[in-house]
Amino acid sequence: MLQNLLSFTILAGLLTMLPGLDTAQVLRSVTIGGKSTAYATVAGILTGVWIWGAAAALGISALLVASHIAYTTVKWAGTAYLIYLGIKMLWESRKITHESVQAKIADKTSSRKAFNRALLINLTNPKTGVFYIAILPQFLPHEFPALVGGLLLATIHNLLTLIWFTMMIYGASFAKETLQNPRVQKIIERASGVALIGFGIRVAFEKS
């Protein structure tokens, strides 16, 4: 069991450090809304991973592999949502001012919105489900029921993710004043919008 857990930890750690959609979300959140919004985004990502881990352990996400219709439905839902968010960010970047930046920082609902957005992005990314159904069964400890094992591995993945993103969040916090400059915010928002549209297009053209 320990060997399986160690092997999965190494693999999950390497995957966590690869830049991707989750990294883009967290960096945007910490610059737009500060630490609380960034951690809300991380919480959404972690919740999504737990759900995928449980689904993979129970065999539910195997539908994404076995059913072309299920995979295609999730894929296009994710594509549409990512492109919608990207366009929305590009459009709203025109309205960024010093006052709007301060309002976002003080907005008590921004954390909830960040959590919901990150969770939905995670759950509508079929590649996450395919990864878990393809990789997770190989590392499931036989000493536990499948669901418990799946949640255990997802928790290991989440602990590594939390550590990595915490380092990223606190690193970005050192440049807080610069990052909250309206001009910098516009650049970040537009770059994030283009990145989300790019990720959406990539998801659309990826094969199951």
Alpha-carbon distance of 125 to 4, in angstroms, equals 26
Residue 181 has pLDDT above 80, yes or no: no
Q: Which two tokens stand for residue 58?
A: 């129970």
Q: Which two tokens stand for residue 203?
A: 């998801």
Alpha-carbon distance of 158 to 152, in angstroms, equals 10
pTM for the model stands at 0.69
Q: What is the mean pLDDT of the chain?
A: 76
pLDDT in tens, 53-96: 888 777 665 565 566 676 677 678 767 877 887 888 788 777 76
pLDDT value at position 102? 57
CB atoms within 10 A of CB 165: 24
pLDDT value at position 87? 87
Q: How confident is the model at residue 33 (pLDDT cuts 50, 70, 90)?
A: confident
Q: Which two tokens stand for residue 131?
A: 């990864």
174 phi and psi, to 5 degrees? -65, -25
pLDDT value at position 152? 87
Alpha-carbon distance of 35 to 116, in angstroms, equals 16
DSSP label at 20?
S
Amino acid sitting at position 130: V
Residue 191 has pLDDT above 90, yes or no: no
